């Protein structure tokens, strides 16, 4: 069994209403046998951030707001807030028991409002392919509670895709089981780590001025040791 923790960056709307060109999903695949150790280490990491930077253990790390609308963490200088995010990236990079998958939709290629479905379809199929080589194993998806109904419907469809007349059936999910488990990221340290990863996936393609000036737009490349796509000789993010 493996768990996939997923978060997004950007929005799934099409132009001209959307100001961004890409929609990103990032995820960490974890064997639940390692989950207790990972959670304990992550709690120690948050204690380290509290002692070093004054970031409360109860404070949510939401990367975009962290840098642009810091609110309760505004007392932490910007350079230190960015350093916190780098430490989050490096915490993930050092874990030998987590694996990264990230996908994006280039909305210039989209002809209908299916950006959300296209991104999730690609991520779920990549996770399913990973599970096929890991045992094979089964997998559950844990995501923030935003578009749960839409995602649940998509997963059902991917298990029984309807082929168009005269066309072969599309790929199906063989190893991803059940419906998505919907969590509140404010109470999930792991989802907050994935939020940081998703944010820097977006900065790789659409860096904002503050991130570019600080040289942080390439932080995503630091995750190469745990990136399953890189290990397969592919680009670090699957663009559809």
Confidence of residue 144 (pLDDT cuts 50, 70, 90): confident
Contact 126, 234 (CB under 8 A): no
Domain that holds residue 78: 2-239
Q: Point out which residues pair with 5 in neighbouring strands.
A: 28, 142
Residue 214: give its domain's CATH number. 3.30.420
Where do we find the tokens 């070093």?
52
Residues 6+ apart with CB under 8 A from 239: 22, 103, 104, 105, 106
Listed in order, strand segments (DSSP E) in the chain are 2-10, 22-30, 98-106, 139-144, 181-183, 238-239
Number of domains in the chain: 1
**Does residue 238 carry a pLDDT above 70?**
yes
Residues 151, 144: Cα–Cα separation, whole Å: 11
Is this structure's pTM higher than 0.75? Answer: yes
**pLDDT tens, residue by residue, 114-139:** 899 999 999 999 999 999 998 889 99
Q: What are phi and psi of 223, to 5 degrees?
A: -85, 5
Mean pLDDT, the chain, rounded, equals 92
**Does residue 166 carry a pLDDT above 70?**
no
């Amino acid at each position: 069994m493996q768990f996939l923790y997923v978060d997004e960056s950007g929005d799934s709307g099409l132009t001209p209403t959307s100001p961004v060109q890409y929609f990103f999903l990032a995820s960490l695949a974890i064997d639940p046998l390692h989950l207790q150790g990972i959670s304990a280490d992550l709690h120690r990491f948050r204690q380290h951030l509290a002692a070093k930077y004054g970031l409360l253990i109860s404070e949510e790390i939401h990367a975009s707001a962290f840098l642009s609308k810091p609110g309760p963490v505004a007392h932490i200088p910007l350079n230190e807030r960015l350093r916190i995010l780098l430490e989050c990236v490096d915490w993930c990079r050092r874990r030998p028991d987590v694996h990264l998958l990230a996908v994006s939709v280039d909305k210039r290629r989209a002809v209908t409002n299916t950006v959300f479905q296209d991104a999730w379809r690609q991520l779920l199929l990549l996770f399913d392919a990973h599970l096929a080589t890991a045992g094979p194993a089964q997998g559950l998806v844990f995501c923030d509670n935003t578009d749960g109904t839409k995602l649940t419907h998509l997963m059902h469809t991917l298990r029984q895709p309807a082929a168009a007349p005269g066309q072969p059936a599309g790929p199906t999910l063989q190893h991803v089981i059940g419906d998505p488990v919907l969590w509140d990221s404010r109470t999930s340290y792991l989802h907050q780590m994935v939020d940081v990863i998703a944010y820097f996936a977006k900065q790789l393609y659409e860096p904002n001025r503050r991130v570019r000036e600080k040289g942080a737009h390439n932080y995503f490349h630091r995750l190469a040791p745990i990136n399953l796509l890189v290990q397969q000789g592919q680009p670090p993010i699957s663009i559809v």
